Structure 1
């Protein structure tokens, strides 16, 4: 940080909310006919003021008001309950008035409330307005940072951080945008989420999620510990004693139990930039080795060139995941050096990441291993239970200590790809689609007959909560290689059941011989 940081004003927050709400309300007003009455009750008073002001600017003669008491009649756009009832009814000529929209502050109570209840006024609700505003603001972030910000929000949701509600997230994004959006301002704006500002949060992409978790844990521990201020600071495990001293001086001025009060000055007051989170070096980090992680492959199918399905034709050559068809996927990643040689390394996490929405589902934990191999194959199961949104996703693998702290990641300087080595190639998720693929089978099971195989697969489908009637035979052929090793008088018939896989059915050689003679001379 080199320049002074600007705090977001309430007016700019209200203006941003109004910018999303006003077009929707204008569309509703244009759709409603004369005599129709509407009310809005689920907005903050200041937001109602901003929205009403903007709507009256574009509709100066419209019936758009804020309900007020008799003492507030002199304020702009105010209407008393008595006047509101009058506006609800036809005019003196019996003509229906133009649509009426009234904002009712939640703090206002009036004896005439029954006269503009939901029986006569349509209730307009905008409970998702902040969620929608978050999405519109995320679209304004640089493409290189939006994924990390979504990860940040995902972690705060996962950790149930009460200080990071939707309004706080909007304030966070607006604050960063107000100060010239980049990685530094996004880190400096963390105080809006009641985290310690971190001016270098995005300097190392591989460390972002780990730093966010460490930040949150640190704030939480400082807030809830029963120890003295000095004891709480000592428990952080910082390696810099001078920093500990500065923090102690800082908390002589601010109450350590109120992080919503003490986190903002670290950014807003330049004299305290020296205690931003990027200066917090923890003792165990000094002894941690770096590790190079490389995601080698996933076993997802690739859309072929002859694909004629409209949903898939635009994805030719790309990997695809259809959760209803493919309920498990395998991921292969490589570790260098061997996990046993990395100081502090305890486990890896394998996580599906949406390019738009961040982490999806739960992460899979993989403990370090002792065998000499440097690769690991991980199966992600029950994909059909995950609430996927259609779009591009990828796999991210990260290393952790036993306490859940991140292990530093080595970057692959030789790679020409824009993606990180610890992330897989992107794949497209199609929740409602379908794709035919023949699954890999290490061992093909043996069945006594075709019906035995069908019945077993139907039972498996029932166990997976699938429709057993969908189990269908897709092909039958004699196995290559001829005779069975166990019985020289037997041949193997291979039956395929689409994505369910294939089975082997031992049969008498005589049946194959008879079939071949019939096919050779069908007329006889």
Structure 2
């Protein structure tokens, strides 16, 4: 019997099994696995595929209520697990609640996780898009990437395109997945594509305002009077039972072709004659360094930049021109990547051929890097009027014109180069404000241990008895302001000559605190970063306890708690980190902790080589040693600019390896003292 499920879940499940194929293929007797998070129909589909592809694995759906060859009760599962005759895979319904739920926890059953499965499927589906339609599809997906269900909607959209075939019509017609009216002519005129989409968004939003009467919705639509309104009224009355935008607009595609957006009276936009040129950027903070314009920003205030631009025809001669939008773009070597909208200014009646606007770049919002400004001229609906600007480089423009002559269907977006509306590049460099102690500037150091050695080296140079430095009363503290910043600054001073600051990214400080405040356990910190580097906070960050806590030596935990407490209490506020702690004073504590840790790890490895232990014990030890590799690491997830998910592992400052480096450094410097 073949179980029928939606294409969406079918693709999700097929990819899940594909990603775990090696695990399933090489599973040994006694190896237990599980899959969770699906409904009954989806689990039956998984069961059929697993039993057909991996017949040597015992596979069942957990259920205490149903009795069949496909199901197994929790108590029977325990018996089967203890026999260890075959590999075992159990499928747990999302709604499962059994008395023996702990018997198939993560300690005994490896979870074939669904983490990032949708993001991986999106990448896979995008790889199937033909080259000629790829930029159009990506344009649609990026237009809706901030929707609440953007990822699942994108996958459903791509699946439908795959089913129907990739054409200009299908790409526009399936906009209903994102709550928009189908538009078979979305890409007919490239220069008007964005304007059509914006207009569609406005009309769709009004049509789907279900808490308003039909006639109120229609009266607010920016369309010609006495045009398509009667058709919309009849449609909304006929489909009055639908209260979901996607379902509503799907009906248009299926049953109401006259309401396809290609038949709507959309205002024509003649943008071909409107050009914009960003001619100059200036600031008192700009300096030319080796041919590069560098904006030197003070960390305590915003840097102001004046952006000057003009249009052809003059701004006052363009009747539909209402405003200018100035965008900060990140340099990528091509057309750039949008970072944020800095300002929107209204057009004036001034007869000048140019306009100018002052924008602010604050180090709390913008990170160091290379940027440029892009300026758009817009009408009252936010449609871009200078959508056909020429390329900034004359040679690129000439090549574009040549290729366009040979291939009239060539899209301008296929040329990844800057336009005349883009400013010159500049580098944004943040410099710490000169915060003074008795009119002495703070020197930047990497950690407080470095400050200790700088103080002692000064004594050696003077030929006086070595002293242990003592922080001044107003130092040894974080200098956090009322608003969070990208960089956190720690102030440590011993006198006017030894006045220091330690700068550390606020995100790294937060991650270190997660470890230090969970001193009674070992584990991993898992965090997710926004691809927008200017965001100060994590999307999520949490400490995850390790299964090793069930077997770890209690002496290690005790030494770990003492060490972490000493680090936290290294300043008055009790919120120290490794970088703000004088590790000279904790050298013996660190060594005791590392030696205890190393001895325990050596014992685990020694047991693994013992020929007298059972296969079950050996497999469990291997699992513990594998888990050990992730202890005190930071698992970081984010997305590349193109949306591709990426993961990285960071060795945290409290990892035994990094702590041992400090001990070796201390011993190396102080040897022979």
* Structure 2 partner of 1:262: 248
- Residue 368 (structure 1) aligns with: 347
From 186, 208, 220, give the equivalent of 1:201: 186
Cα distance change, pair 457–289 in 1 and its aligned pair in 2 (3 A): farther
In structure 1, the residue corresponding to 2:257 is in which secondary structure?
helix
Describe the shift of the 1:116–1:65 C-alpha distance in structure 2 as closer, same or farther (beyond 3 A): same
After superposition, the Cα gap between the structure-2 partners of 1:225 and 1:173, relative to the gap in structure 1 and judged at 3 Å, is same
Cα distance in 2 between the residues matched to 1:419 and 1:378: 30
Asked if 2 retains the 8 angstrom alpha-carbon contact of 1:201 and 1:211, the reply is yes
Q: What's the secondary structure of 2:311's corresponding residue?
A: strand
> CA–CA distance in 1 between the matches of 2:39 and 2:367?
32
Q: Could you tell me which of 224, 231, 234 is aligned with 1:239?
A: 224
Following superposition of structure 1 onto structure 2, how do residues 71-86 of structure 1 map, counting pairs within 5 Å?
Answer: 71=66, 73-75=68-70, 78-86=71-79
Contact 2:62 2:91 in 1 (8 A): yes
- Say which is worse superposed, 289-298 or 113-122, in terms of deviation: 289-298
274, 289, 296: which one aligns with 1:292: 274
Match of 2:323 among 347, 354, 372: 347
| Structure 1 Cα separation of the partners of residues 347 and 317 of structure 2 | 10
Q: TM-score, normalised by structure 1?
A: 0.62
Q: Deviations over 1:220-257 (max 9, x none)?
A: 22233654313322221311634111111212210264
CA deviations 1:486-509 (Å, max 9, x no partner) are xxxxxxxxxxxxxxxxxxxxxxxx
Counterpart of 1:4 in structure 2 is none
Which residue in 1 is equivalent to 2:382?
405
Which structure 2 segments of 5+ residues have no match? 282-289, 392-396, 401-410, 420-425, 430-438, 445-479, 490-499, 504-673
Measured in 2, the distance between the counterparts of 1:341 and 1:193 equals: 37
Unaligned runs of 5+ in 1: 1-8, 300-306, 308-317, 427-435, 440-451, 472-524
SS at match of 1:56: helix
CA contact (8 A) 1:40 1:123 kept: yes
Aligned length: 408
Deviations 1:169-210 (A, max 9, x none): 210111112111133211111112221111122233444344
Q: Distance in 1 between matches of 2:28 and 2:364?
A: 46
Is the CA contact (8 Å cut-off) linking 1:222 and 1:257 kept in structure 2?
no
Is 1:335 aligned to 2:311, yes or no?
Answer: yes
Give the secondary-structure state (helix, strand or coil) at the position aligned to 1:264.
helix
Q: Post-superposition shift, 1:260? A: 3.0
Query: Are residues 332 and 80 of structure 1, via their aligned partners in 2, closer, same or farther at CA, if it must alter by over 3 Å?
Result: farther
Counterpart among 123, 127, 131 of residue 135 in structure 1: 123
C-alpha spacing 1:425/1:329, structure 2 compared with 1 (3 Å) = farther
8 A contact 1:14–1:50 mirrored in 2: no
Deviation at 1:359, TM superposition (A): 4.9
The C-alpha deviation readout for 1:426-452, integer Å capped at 9, x for no partner, is: 9xxxxxxxxx9899xxxxxxxxxxxx9
Q: CA deviation at 1:386?
A: 5.9
**2:360, 2:337 → 1: CA distance?**
17
With a CA cutoff of 8 Å and minimum separation of 6, indicate the structure with the bigger relative contact order.
1
Counterparts of 1:166 and 1:357 in 2: how far apart (Å)? 24
1:55 equivalent in alignment to 2:29: no
Q: What's the counterpart of residue 636 of structure 2?
A: none
CA spacing shift, 1:411–1:400, aligned 2, 3 Å: closer
CA distance in 2, matches of 1:48, 1:329: 58
Q: CA deviation at 1:291?
A: 5.5
Aligned to 2:12: 17
Q: Partners of 2:305 and 2:42 in 1: how far apart?
A: 47
RMSD of equivalent CA atoms: 5.0
Structure 1 Cα separation of the partners of residues 41 and 337 of structure 2: 32
- From the superposition, tell whether residues 250 and 61 of structure 1 become closer, same or farther in structure 2 (CA, over 3 Å): same
Post-superposition Cα deviations, 1:294-314, rounded to whole Å, max 9, x if no partner, equal: 566898xxxxxxx9xxxxxxx
For 1:185 and 1:393, the matched residues in 2 are separated by 37
Give the C-alpha shift of residue 16 in structure 1: 1.7
Distance 1:386 1:79, change over 3 A: farther
Residues 187 and 197, structure 1, Cα contact 8 Å, conserved in 2 = yes
How far apart, in 2, do the equivalents of 1:70 and 1:465 lie? Answer: 54
Alignment of 1:60-139 (within 5 A): 60-71=55-66, 73-75=68-70, 78-89=71-82, 91=83, 96-139=84-127
With over 3 angstroms needed to count, the CA separation of the structure-2 counterparts of 1:198 and 1:330, relative to structure 1, is: farther
Higher mean displacement: 366-375 or 97-106: 366-375
Distance 2:250 2:428 in 1: 56
CA distance in 1, matches of 2:269, 2:166: 34
| Paired position in structure 2 for 1:5 | none
**Which of 168, 172, 195 pairs up with 1:183?**
168
- Scaled by the length of structure 2, the TM-score of the pair is 0.50
